Chain A
Amino acid sequence: MNEYVIEMLNITKEFPGIRANDDITLRLRRGEIHALLGENGAGKSTLMSVLFGLYQPEKGVIKKDGEIVRIKNPNDANMLNIGMVHQHFKLVEVFTVLENIILGVEPNKMGFLQKKEARKKVLELSERYVLKIDPDALVEDISVGMQQRVEILKMLYRDNDILIFDEPTAVLTPQEIEELMHIMRSFAAEGKSILFITHKLNEIMAVADRCTVLRKGKCIGTVDVKDTDKAKLSRMMVGRDVEFIVSKDDAKPGETVLDVSHLTVPSKSHKNNAVKDVSFHVRAGEIVCLAGIEGNGQTECVYALTGLERPSAGTVKIKGEPIVLIGRKRNKQNAAELAKVKTILMPIRQRSKLGMSHIPEDRQKFGLVLDYTLEENLVLQRYWEPAFQKNGFIRKPSVRQYAEKLIKQYDIRSGQGPITTARSMSGGNQQKAIVARELDKNPELLIAVQPTRGLDVGAIEYIHKQLVAARDNGKAVFLVSLELDEVMNVSDRILVMYEGEIVGEFDPKATTVEELGLFMAGAKKQAVEGMVH
């Protein structure tokens, strides 16, 4: 039997203006977890798309068990037992979990769906690999973690034994990541081969056997994980030394920029409030981080601050100027008083003019108009400024000039520069574009929600430096993050949110990841600003 299940030999794939894969060779052994590491736009996804039959390479061959195969489309890949969990899940939201798993390979008798049979097989698989799912829940109602389990079950249901995971941990909580690692190990132990695309070095060190590193479309090399370390890997990936710890001086906080008191935001998914009577403040020249496990009200809190959602009560001020002022009705007397106070709910554009910048959590949903070009996206928050429009007409030359400046300054890589469609850019560069746009607005207050999600170490280092630089320039930075490393590294003050309440405030120098974890999980609680009323 051949040592390698899959061999991709000398693969070259070109796109207009860019050679995404340049003579790349990758060999996958039976039963190994093989990490594919590279910066954003290094060609990882392209290479996997070639393997999955989505792209045809210009040069090179793919061998399965030593024999040359041609993979013209994902069906061919499936025939060869190659399965893939995509970074953005491919699920039909209005179908149930079960329906999604069997989609495309539905067991049927004369055209009639045999759901019972399918259910049995799915439940067996789910039990065997400890992949907890509810087969009858609609995909739109389940958590991201469960959606990923559904994707994994899809591969298992099709008896795939070569499993590709495209940045599977980008959307998961630390606990879910732990679980996933465990599942991947059990697959490998069973003889399944796993290709694991990532740029998180910790995960590679934790789970992978070997690692192939790509840089700018070229293969830098394949190494045994046990013979290497994070620093070596990151040097291979980025081509230079990377600082993992952000070097920064102590914060010199000035006046309060963001002042939030008694903010309450109703939840869309359940009857309770998502954010419950929360109070905090962010001063100029400090980075305050809101930590917590996903889904504990951080998103709603940010939506209320930025104007995407209407809070039900509370006051929010930027530099003393109220942007939200909604009284809460407690009793009759209070109601009469409230009637005298005018409710304030400042429109988003006004907030932006007051100096608020927002790096949104979901870059494709909020951050970008994907069908607009890069330059059009870069002025999304500023196109109305006199610099970019005159008498209602866009000043294209100044937009172009501005875009070129930002592209250079922030190293945004794309196929065709300013006129590249945002949709065709890699996720990391899309994020860079948003960061560039929001930072260059020169805000008083920067609200950054998971600004480094899905980015490689080089880009993360860069964005962290930018956040610190903004702070040192006297800006107030409100960072929402799920990554504890980031929380500990970047922030000057940490607020932990659990079930819509702020349960603790910490100095990163005086706390530990373990302690934060306890608060994030709701095991501990301390009296803080927002709670003593």
Chain B
Amino acid sequence: MEQKKRRSLHIPGGTSILASLISIGVGLIVGLILLYALNAKAAGGAFISLITTGFRSSDKFAKVLYQAAPLIMTGLSVGFAFKTGLFNIGATGQYTVGAAFALIGAIQFQLPWYVCLLLSMIGGAIWGIFPGLFKALFNVNEVITSIMFNWIAMFAVNLTINNLPMMLAKYWGGAQMDRTANLAQANPGALIPRMGLDTLMKSNYMNISIFIAILFAILAWVILSKATFGYELKACGYNRNASIYAGITAKRNIVLSMVFAGAFAGVGGGLYFLAGTGQYTLLKQLLTAGFNGIPVALLATSNPIGTIFSAFFVSYIQVGGDAMQPDFVKEIIDIIISVIIYLAAFALLTRELLARGKQRREDEAEEAAAAEAKAALTADADADVVEVAADAATQEKDEVSKS
């Protein structure tokens, strides 16, 4: 089943885009129905703000872009690993370590932003190595390892920051005990440059992080579709036996794929916290951004370029959701957003349905097997996204309070 799932994750072509759009449409309709069910009077207006707020003003649009950047990175992380047949549920841990490396570089060592971003990449890559190594050397399922490493990352980072007094806001005259220093105070040079975009769009959130993220997406696309390295990675993901037969060192590729995935997620953490608008909070909770990378990658059907758009969509819907207050309470909004993202991530299933016609040419052996696998796949995808949705709902608040 594992193999079947991998296969269904990468069927190229126009059906992918169509499937993603259909899924988004279905998600929005169900969201609208939910709104009516909860508060019929305010539903129409709320829905309009949900789907228009992001474009309504330049500062809201800036917020969309600001949130989309780290999502692109975690989406790339998950999608890249998918292409090699690995499920990187550890994007959160890699994101956290990346964030910590960036912040320590910025505050403790007073380094400039680009060095900090490089550090975040290294931090994430290091955190990606472990699940990769365990998988390659001992065939330990990467899902288990990376979930463990999510928690290890979180506690290790909290412990480290707690023991570096200079890191904390209090050291710099801030009031809060539980979060890192405000970068504007501690080291303005570590802030990601705004290049006048903030005044142009009248928003503190705006900086060049979205462009950096897009560059990384293009990089990932080039690696996967143009480079021999990507050819090897995908061969490993599609059919490990055949790649071994062709003399490709599958083990090395598994590790490298996780290193790349980790590096992408790490940069995501760097981009988010080096913006200066969010401070890392020492809570015993995993950061959501990493998990949100999963629906982003699914919605984009693991295509790096598609990831840019799907991250934008998820971010857009989050910003729009905030605008539904006070007609709807924050928790309800979280649920609705989760439902929309959840259904949107069904792109995979929708695409399988659309691809049916195409698939007919496959021999009937595959046909029947695929039907079996699809049932399992749906169940599987459900389980994953439910977890993500639940996380998103419970932790959305904290993320917001941090920023």
Chain A interface (Cβ < 8 Å from any Cβ of B): 15-16, 45, 49, 52, 54-55, 74, 86-88, 90, 306, 308, 347-352, 358, 360, 365-372, 376, 380-381, 383-384, 389, 392-394, 415, 423-424, 426-427
Contacts and interface: CB of A to CB of B under 8 A. Distances in A.
Contact of B365 (A87, A365, A380): A87
A370 B361 contact: no
B241 interface: yes
Nearest to A416: B361
A360 to B, nearest CB: 6
Interface of B: 7, 10-11, 226-229, 231, 234-235, 238-239, 241-249, 360-369
B301 to A, nearest CB: 13
Given A308-B245, A358-B245, A45 B364 contact: yes
A87 B226 CA distance: 36
Contact of B238 (A87, A366, A370, A392): A370
A358 to B, nearest CB: 7
B341 to A, nearest CB: 27
Nearest to A17: B361
B47 to A, nearest CB: 40
A423 B362 contact: yes
A423 B7 CA distance: 11
A371 B360 contact: no
Given A370-B238, A389-B228, A393-B227, A88 B365 contact: yes
A15 B364 CA distance: 14
B368 A366 contact: no
A347 B238 contact: no
A369 B361 contact: no
B242 A52 contact: no
Contacts of A415: 361
B131 to A, nearest CB: 24
B235 A366 contact: no
A393 B7 contact: no
A409 to B, nearest CB: 21
Contacts of B238: 369-372
A36 to B, nearest CB: 15
Nearest to A415: B361
Given A380-B235, A394-B227, A424 B245 contact: no
B368 A423 contact: no
B10 A371 contact: yes
B360 A55 contact: yes
A381 B367 contact: no
A121 B248 CA distance: 49
Given A49-B364, A54-B364, A383-B231, A367 B226 contact: no
A358 B244 CA distance: 12
A369 B239 contact: yes
10 contacts: A45-B363, A86-B368, A308-B245, A348-B246, A350-B247, A352-B247, A365-B239, A366-B245, A371-B10, A371-B238
A393 B366 contact: no
Contacts of A349: 247-249
